[in-house]
Every structure is written in C-alpha cells, then in structure tokens.
Amino acid sequence: MSTQFIQLNHGWNAEPNAPHIEISVDGTALTLGFLANPWQFPEFVDGQIIRLRLTDVWRYTIGDVNDEGWYRGQCRFSKMAPRWGEFYEVLGDLRLDQFEAEWEVVAETPANDLRHFLFYFRDENFECDATSWERIQ
C-alpha cells in the first residue's frame, strides 16, 4: 500500500517559530504539549499550550527534520506529505527503511491496532506508534 496522510489538526496548530514541545509519559500514555499558533488561530492567546494525549503507546521519537530540509527533499516524506507543519496519521508504507531513529520504547509489547502519528514542528518532528489520540486542552 502506498503512503497516505490523514491530517488530524483542524482549527489549531503549533506555534510556527518556537513551539517548545514537551513530552511526558505515564505508563503507556504519552502527553505531547506545545505552544499554540495564535496568529493563524486567534481563539488561542500567545503562550497558550495545546496538549495531545496518545494512548497505548508502543514507541515514540523526536527527530531533527526541519522545514528547510523538508522543502529540499531531505526528509523521507518530502514531496509526499501534503504540507509542512501539520499533525498526521500515516497509513501504508511508513518508509522506515529510510528512517534512522532512536525510538523510546514505552511498552514491551505493541498493541494489535497501532496507528502511526507524525507531527512536523519547526525544527523537529514527533513520531509515535499508539492506538489513539485526543486533544485534551
């Protein structure tokens, strides 16, 4: 199956210059926090934090892909992902053979119904294998 992207962030996004991402893990749940983009979405105020909760996490990684590398074709999803800076579920070919990551393993045994999530921030990307996600703030 070819690679497909489902955009998950609608009506919100990360601050484009310095999102200051933070990750916390509690058992097999992971919370990803980052500053909201108040310029594109005026319902957010400067400094407001958005938090995503991912459940039944198997593993996650923070990569060093930045927007310049993505636009220059240096990312495994360059010219494939619809847009830079968005939160996606990636289906099909994850192109992991082209990905050198240091995964943080959260659960010894992955759940059967894992989904692959990808968020492009300004100077890094977040990837995670989990069963579900929700925006909690």
Nearest CA-CA partner of 53 in 93, 75, 21, 24: 24
How high is the pLDDT of residue 97?
Answer: 75
How high is the pLDDT of residue 70?
Answer: 82
Least reliable range by pLDDT among 16-30, 52-66, 84-98: 84-98
Measured between alpha carbons, how far is 70 from 10 in angstroms, rounded to an integer? 22
Residue type, 119: F
Q: How many CB atoms lie within 10 A of CB 76?
A: 19
Q: Is the confidence at residue 48, as pLDDT, over 80? A: yes
Nearest CA-CA partner of 137 in 32, 18, 22: 32
Report the share of the chain in percent with pLDDT over 90.
69
How high is the pLDDT of residue 116?
Answer: 96
Q: Is the confidence at residue 63, as pLDDT, over 90? A: no
Which residues pair with residue 6 across a beta bridge? 89
